[in-house]
Amino acid sequence: MKKSLNILFAASEAVPFAKTGGLADVSGVLPKALRALGHNVIVVMPRYYSIDKSKLDLVPGPLGVPMGPMGELWAAIYTTTLPGSDVPVYFIDYEAFFGRSGFYADENGFSYGDNDNRFVFLSKAAFQLAKKIDFRPDIIHANDWHTASMPLLRNTRFQYDEHFADSATVLTIHNMQHQGFFFKGIIDVMEVGWEHFNPMELESMDGVNMLKGGVAHADAVTTVSKKYAHEIQTAEFGFGLQDHMWAHRGKLFGILNGVDYNEWSPAVDPLIPAHFDIDDMAGKQVCKNALRKHFGLPEWEVPLIGFVGRFAEQKGIELIAGAIEGMLHMDAQFVFLGTGEKWAEGFFSDVAARYPDKFAIHVGYDNGLAHLIEAGSDLFLMPSLFEPCGLNQIYSLRYGTLPIVRATGGLDDTIENYDPVHDTGNGFKFQWATHDALYHTVRWAVDVWHHEKEAFAAMQKRAMQARYSWEEAAKGYETVYYWILANREITQYR
Ligand code: ADP
Ligand code: GLC
């Protein structure tokens, strides 16, 4: 019989408490899926200012967190469970670090100058918390650069702490672009020893690279699609760490994210005006009309193309900006939802002002509107330059909203190109990150909507049938956990 594992899952954000992107979706659901497989999971995250502590339970007694030259800092701990489960979430409450309006940056988008201290603090606090509540982790599962110091901390500061004697570490990379690059003085705060400041571990260009150190020390590294696991070993996608990833490829795995179909399904979604499913699509037209009404777009007999996401280079917004004039001459309408780079917010708002019948935008973060766009659009635009997994294209599939994507990372793993000869595919896909490639692919999709109605409907059916379950993903992580435990004698640094 398989051993039930104690898993400490640490992340900087998790739904429904704090979210800026897909990491939160994963952290809020994967722990529940692991729990459903029979494991004991706890989640540790910061108690940001926006998380109402009056709705949480206070864990008695303060938590001491040693921070090198800063001394020992004392945090409070709050707890609750992930909705619909008995998975405990522990919030590290420390006003000076987390009592701010933003999670990582101020309102003007400038990263906080002490993000190194803030997230080393979170990582160390997770260890101290495990001791305080007597939770002995078999697996410490860290996510992205914010908690990437945990594998190194396990192998150094907590190496001889018998509480963690049996703890192995996993680091999941959700995005290679953000590595946590800081002034090297943080080593003293981490209290890991300067012998780890070398190019094989923490050092990059005379600074500390948190993700690099995490990759070196984790017993296994995972990323969120198989394709991305290969891509990050190349110069185009490695953001400077490609050789490091290649060196550690023997412990690198790609596990595709799942979808919470209780939240993202047109059959049950409480945030859309009408439900629909494969055998009764009438509600989709109701959603399309509601979406147009929301944005004041006229009801023409044209496809509606949606975009939801961060206005960041990663998401291909420059590609879209370069191709948009041509796209606006097609028989189609566009609805955009997003925030991020200021130039893009201004640029696309200007497009909306110039083409009020064809292009509409909401600059901001709006979960309800994100659901309505998924439900009411015919096509979903996601031409990312890189995409570790991408959740929106998978949500789109379930709503019969066919994705138009670039063949990268999780987009390539989940979207199969339309093939009119064999009548297969669930979307439209292009290879090269050029304006032309995007323009022609959007044009192709718009033409299929207008002139190959049956093929379009058949593709919608195929798209809606596909399931990317968290159970499947959790089994992937479980396999990695058991793989580590079986191989731990021969893993590095032990
Ligand atoms: P990433 O994590 O790189 O931003 P993902 O596709 O993995 O990309 O996840 C993005 C998540 O954030 C999705 O759940 C998406 O619906 C949500 N999202 C992004 N931007 C917005 C926005 N402006 N309003 C509402 N939801 C958004
Ligand atoms: C990151 C990636 C995105 C992925 C998400 C969750 O934010 O950019 O592709 O879906 O993490 O893993």
Give the residue whose CA is nearest to atom 3 of ligand 2: 390
272 inside domain: no
417 lines ligand 1 (CB under 6 A): no
Q: Each residue of 272-299: pLDDT tens digit?
A: 999 999 999 999 999 999 999 999 999 9
C-alpha 183 – ligand 1 centre gap (Å): 30
Tell me: do 79 and 222 sit in the same domain: yes
Instruction: Identify whether residues 326 and 188 lie together within a single domain.
Output: no
**Environment class of residue 191 by beta-carbon count within 10 Å: exposed (0-12), middle (13-18) or buried (19+)?**
middle
Are residues 390 and 241 part of one domain?
Answer: no
Predicted confidence at residue 491, as pLDDT, reads 56
Are 435 and 476 in a shared domain? no
Q: 312 and 319 in contact (C-beta within 8 Å)?
A: no
Q: Does the CA dihedral 429-434-440-443 come out positive or negative?
A: positive
The CATH code of the domain that includes 304 is 3.40.50.2000
* Residue 440 domain flag: yes
**pLDDT for 108-157, tens place per residue?**
889 999 999 999 999 999 999 999 999 999 999 999 999 999 999 999 99
List the domain range (segments joined by +) for residue 480: 6-258+471-490
Any idea what the Cα angle at residue 62 is, between residues 57 and 67, rounded to 5°? 125
> Do 180 and 299 belong together in one domain?
no
| In contact, 290 and 376? CB cutoff 8 Å | yes
Is 335 inside any structural domain?
yes
Q: Does position 411 have pLDDT exceeding 60, yes or no?
A: yes
For residue 224, pLDDT over 50 is answered with yes
106 and 159 assigned to the same domain = yes
Beta strands in 349-419 (DSSP E): 359-363, 379-382, 402-406
Instruction: Report yes or no on 377 lying in a domain.
Output: yes
Calpha distance 317→305 (Å, rounded): 15
Buried b (16+ CB within 10 A) or exposed e, 298-315: eeeebbbbbbbbbbbbbb
For residue 372, the number of C-alpha atoms closer than 13 Å in the C-beta half-sphere is 21
Residues 249 and 305 in one domain: no
Is any ligand 2 atom within 6 A of the Cβ of residue 22?
yes
pLDDT of residue 494: 44
Q: What is the pLDDT of residues 40-94, one digit of tens each?
A: 999 999 999 999 999 999 999 999 999 999 999 999 999 999 999 999 999 999 9
Q: Looking at the 3D structure of the chain, how many domains does it have? A: 2
Query: 310 in ligand 2 pocket by Cβ < 6 Å?
Result: no
Atom of ligand 1 nearest to the CA of 389: 7
> What is the C-alpha to C-alpha distance for residues 183 and 362, in angstroms, rounded to an integer?
38
- Say yes or no: 303 and 229 in one domain: no
pTM over 0.85: yes
